[in-house]
Amino acid sequence: MNALADFEISRKWPAQHPDRIQLYSLPTPNGIKVSAMLEETGLPYEPHLVNILTGDQMTPEYLSLNPNNKIPAIIDPDGPDGKPLPLWESGAILLYLAEKSGKLLPQDPAEKYQAIQWVMWQMGGFGPMTGQLGFFHKFAGREYEDRRPFERYRDEVKRLLGVLDRQLEGREFMMGDQYTIADITSWPWARNINGFYEAADVTGYRDFKNVVRWVETCLARPASEKALNIPPRPAS
């Protein structure tokens, strides 16, 4: 495909600015990651709301871009070699945008891969475990008589919060004094524990003082504040 209009998704979400990165998302933790990254880098982009509550992610147009039917996804009309690049999975998108912009990923090779390892940590553990905790604590899973699934995910989230808290000991951000994609990939999920999932008490979230301080620091960044509502949430 040589132009944005060639992508099937453009028929459902037409671009008003086809020269910009097209973001298909919703401000969930994974969606916020990419919105925050785009705001931090200053790369021009155009957001499109994918309303997962009404099944937008299951439409043929969206599935043509992301066969895994999850948000977020992007199309960069000016990808490698000047060709459009479709991309999904928030961690992959963060890495791509960091390399494209030259921002938020350390240039030192050792530090670069240490930052990437924390992105993998979130993608493989912190995010999925926190999401399962949310299901068993706040949503339909809380009605299950068997409490072992809830306890399993609660205890694992507590363990992971401890890992994160120790990493942040004596550091402003996860990699030290430099804000990176390691932070962007994890703070939206930590925020959800204390916020949307209402799981601060069951996880002892407030006892992880370094995490609490770090989330507040990350949230105070102008890009983070904007990303919390990009694309604007649908009216309830």
Residue 3: predicted pLDDT: 85
Distances (CA, A) of 113 to 22, 30, 60, 110: 28, 21, 36, 5
d(CA 175, CA 132): 27
Instruction: Please name every residue paired with 23 in a beta bridge, in sequence order, or none if there are none.
Output: 47, 74
Is the pLDDT at 110 greater than 90, yes or no? yes
Check residue 93 and give left, alpha or beta (phi > 0: left; psi -120 to 50: alpha).
Answer: alpha
| H or E element in which residue 99 lies | helix 90-101
Q: How confident is the model at residue 234 (pLDDT cuts 50, 70, 90)?
A: confident
> What is the chain's mean pLDDT, rounded?
96
Residues 24-63: tens digit of each pLDDT: 999 999 999 999 999 999 999 999 999 999 999 999 999 9
> Per-residue pLDDT tens for 170-227?
999 999 999 999 999 999 999 999 999 999 999 999 999 999 999 999 999 999 999 9
Residue 87 has what pLDDT?
Answer: 98
Q: How far apart are CA 125 and CA 130, in angstroms?
A: 8
**Predicted confidence (pLDDT) per residue in 80-99, tens digit:** 999 999 999 999 999 999 99
Tell whether the model's pLDDT for residue 130 goes beyond 80. Answer: yes
What pLDDT score was predicted for residue 218? 98
Q: How confident is the model at residue 150 (pLDDT cuts 50, 70, 90)?
A: very high
Identify the CA nearest to 184 among candidates 159, 135, 229, 217: 217
C-beta separation of 186 from 164 below 8 A: yes
pLDDT at 233: 87
pLDDT tops 70 at residue 236: no
